[in-house]
Amino acid sequence: MRKHFYWLFIVLLASCIEEPAPQLNTVESNFESLWKIIDTRYCYLDYKKIDWDSIHDVYKLKLPKDSSDEVFFNLMDSMLDELKDGHVNLYSDFNISRYWKWYTDYPANFNSSIIFSSNYLGENYRVAGGMRYGKIDNGRVGYVYYGDFMSSFYDTNITSIFEYFKNCNGLIIDVRNNGGGSIEYASKLASYFFAKDTITGYMSHKLGDGHSNFSKPTAVKTLAHKSIKWNKPVVVLTNRLSYSATNDFVCRMKMAPNATIIGDKTGGGGGLPLSSELPNGWMVRFSACPMYDALMNHTEWGIEPDSPVNMTDSDIQKNIDTIIESAIITINNK
Amino acid sequence: MKKLFAIAAYCMFSVLLFSQENEEKKYALSTVNSSVGVSLIQLSDPYLSPINYNGIGVNNKYESRSYLKPEDTNLSVHLSANDIYALTSNPTGTALIAYLAGNLGCGLSYHIRPKSGLQILLGGLWDLEGGLKLNDRNVNNPFNMDLATNLNATARMNYNFRLFRKNMSLNIAIQTPLIGCMFVPPRGASYYEIMNKGDFSNTLHFSSLHNRQGLRQMFVIEIPSKNTTTRIGFDINELKYKANDMIFSNSQIGFTIGSTFDMATFMGTKNPAPKNFISTKE
């Protein structure tokens, strides 16, 4: 027994941890590195039914022998576009690749000049914590435009806004053209519209290199704010450019008791992105942790509104926002 | 008169006895080594990047050693505290990782004295490691934490020699982790999911030689001068560990300079300072 123990000890000592060989900074090595990062860490290859192996073969053939950084960058940009994911970017010293078709191929459903016209916010709107707000529909409806989930806000801002709207029939939260930001702000903003803590979704992450190896989904709870609460109807306005953290906010608000989602389907961006790096120092960002709604549906392709509404050309010509008008009717009918 | 003489003799005898007791009582001095240094560092943290980062850092080391009991010179207790701050970059210089780490340790050593002037100390050290690597270019994984606790095997050699008419000392020390526990996030998980959603699955790992291998080596010469004893040397630290399909490494080689001194600690009611010590409180 003792002899075996000694042997085991010697084997353990001898079994050195071997680090992978350093990657070379060549076109081929950078290509293989990028392909492998996506192959092993991108979370939607199977969900989107992408044959990443064949993409490898196709793009490897296109690799030029002596390419400039720009030629190589553009080729890798094209390869990453195959993922059809706005959360996938390649950051070089001279450019950032991006995929924009998730909203450029759809109606805009947003016109800021209409929102800031006298029909709605006008010139004398208020600003608190990145939110622009004012009363519309002759003071019967409160309207908040929040265009960036990177803009911070505090409880005092929300208290002031809710106090200002206390005599309104309901509230519109407009997150159209909000491309995302901090998921913490998404969770915090939603918390004011919940009466109790509610499971509003799930998230998981990749385990190992397999395309479908994921951890057991963790429940994502939206915690109801302890003291600040909006109890009247609330309508969330969305369009295709409601993306990433905004997508998460809409996913949460789908479960809020007095909330209605009106507008276009959100742009998606349901995968929490992480970053990695190529030997040439370029950074790649990619969706790594898939997020699901409360029914375990993927949110990567966007969230359907409760009431789909598109802006019409005739309304736009009259400086009318069809989606806001629809929200006003919804609030006043409740 | 006889009675008075007897009382005086008793008092003198008592004082004599007391002073003898004080002279005979042993006090364990703590040998304190304090040094600062500059290190070249190479980091590999696949959670942040698959590329190795190289840089330079400054470190601070403190250690004290004293016999567990003054009357037993075979067993000593060892306390250590180390910290390092380093800035590293990728080979192309397009991104930085700032590294901040600290280590607290407590151990016991058995002293072997094979010949005069030579001591070999063998023992163990339990330590706590904490570190933070920050790559602010990354999105949602801009930092990674190093948290670990280990039982280490330690060996040290102190050799006193005379050179240039000075009594110098050569210290060589090595330390390797044997068994412990470490925190390593899953490669695909964000700290948002781990911390905010409380999903700690696959983050805590038992560690032993099979997945955590390291060697700290220190070579120091102590040179006494008129008012101080200077320590000059270099150290080499190598650490590799693997978990969650990732292999992490941390290599450091550095130059250190510092001083060593002995001190005695008196505190509490059981261990008051002898009367021939003067405190500012008196």
Q: Do B199 and A273 touch (CB under 8 A)?
A: no
Q: Give residue A247's pLDDT.
A: 97
From the list A219, A281, A288, the residue facing B188 with the nearest CB is A288
From chain A, pick out residues whose CB is under 8 angstroms from the CB of B196: 184
Domain that holds residue B208: 35-263
Q: Which positions in chain A have a beta carbon within 8 angstroms of at least one beta carbon in chain B?
A: 12-13, 15-20, 22-23, 25, 33, 37, 41, 43, 91, 93, 183-184, 203, 205-209, 215-216, 218-220, 272-277, 279-283, 285, 288-289
Q: Is B186 inside a domain boundary?
A: yes
> Which residue of B lies nearest to A208 if distances are taken between CA atoms?
B245
pLDDT at B18 over 80: no
What does the alpha-carbon distance between residue B271 and residue B282 come to, in Å, rounded to a whole number?
A: 16
Could you tell me how many CB contacts below 8 A there are between chain A and chain B? Answer: 110
CA distances from B59 to B37, B77, B80, B88, B220 (A): 5, 23, 13, 14, 16
Q: Cα distance from A25 to chain B (closest Cα, Å)?
A: 9
Q: Is B277 inside a domain boundary?
A: no
Band of pLDDT at residue B1, cut at 50, 70 and 90: low
Instruction: Give helix A183-191 / helix A245-253 axis angle, nearest 10°.
Output: 20
Could you tell me the domains of chain A? 104-193+230-268+303-333 (3.90.226.10)
Band of pLDDT at residue B258, cut at 50, 70 and 90: very high
> Of A260, A266, A89, nearest to A180 (Cα)?
A266
- Global ipTM: 0.87
Q: Is B236 inside a domain boundary?
A: yes
Q: Is B12 inside a domain boundary?
A: no
CA A319 to centroid of chain Cα atoms: 30
Q: Is B82 inside a domain boundary?
A: yes
Residue A16, CA atoms < 13 Å, CB-side half-sphere: 7
| Higher pLDDT, residue B234 or B279 | B234
- Residue B59, domain CATH: 2.40.128.100
> Of B91, B188, B84, nearest to B130 (Cα)?
B84
pLDDT tens column, B180-203: 999 999 999 999 989 888 888 889
Extended strands (E) in chain B: 30-44, 53-69, 72-89, 96-115, 118-134, 143-163, 166-183, 204-208, 212-224, 229-243, 246-263
Q: Do A279 and B186 touch (CB under 8 A)?
A: no
> How many separate domains does chain B show?
1
pLDDT at B270 over 90: no
What does the alpha-carbon distance between residue B175 and residue B66 come to, in Å, rounded to a whole number?
A: 19
| Higher pLDDT, residue A115 or B163 | A115
Q: Give residue B195's pLDDT.
A: 87
pLDDT at B84 over 60: yes
Q: Is B30 inside a domain boundary?
A: no
Mutate one of B199, B203, B248 to test the A interface: name it (highest A CB count within 10 A). B199
Q: Give residue B62's pLDDT.
A: 96
CA distances from A236 to A54, A171, A292 (A): 41, 9, 19
Q: What is the pLDDT along chain A (334 residues), one digit of tens a residue?
A: 556 655 555 555 556 788 888 889 999 999 999 999 999 999 999 999 999 999 999 999 999 877 689 999 999 999 999 999 999 999 999 999 999 999 999 999 999 999 999 999 999 899 999 999 999 999 999 999 999 999 999 999 999 999 999 999 999 999 999 999 999 999 999 999 999 999 999 999 998 899 999 999 999 999 999 999 999 999 999 999 999 999 999 999 999 999 999 999 999 999 999 999 999 999 999 999 999 999 999 999 999 999 999 999 999 999 999 999 999 999 999 8
Band of pLDDT at residue B137, cut at 50, 70 and 90: very high
Band of pLDDT at residue B16, cut at 50, 70 and 90: very low
Q: Do A272 and B193 touch (CB under 8 A)?
A: yes
Q: Give residue B133's pLDDT.
A: 97
Q: Is B183 inside a domain boundary?
A: yes
Q: Give residue B207's pLDDT.
A: 95
Q: Is B23 inside a domain boundary?
A: no
Cβ pair A30, A277 in contact under 8 A: no
From the list B137, B245, B247, the residue facing A283 with the nearest CB is B137
pLDDT at B42 over 90: yes
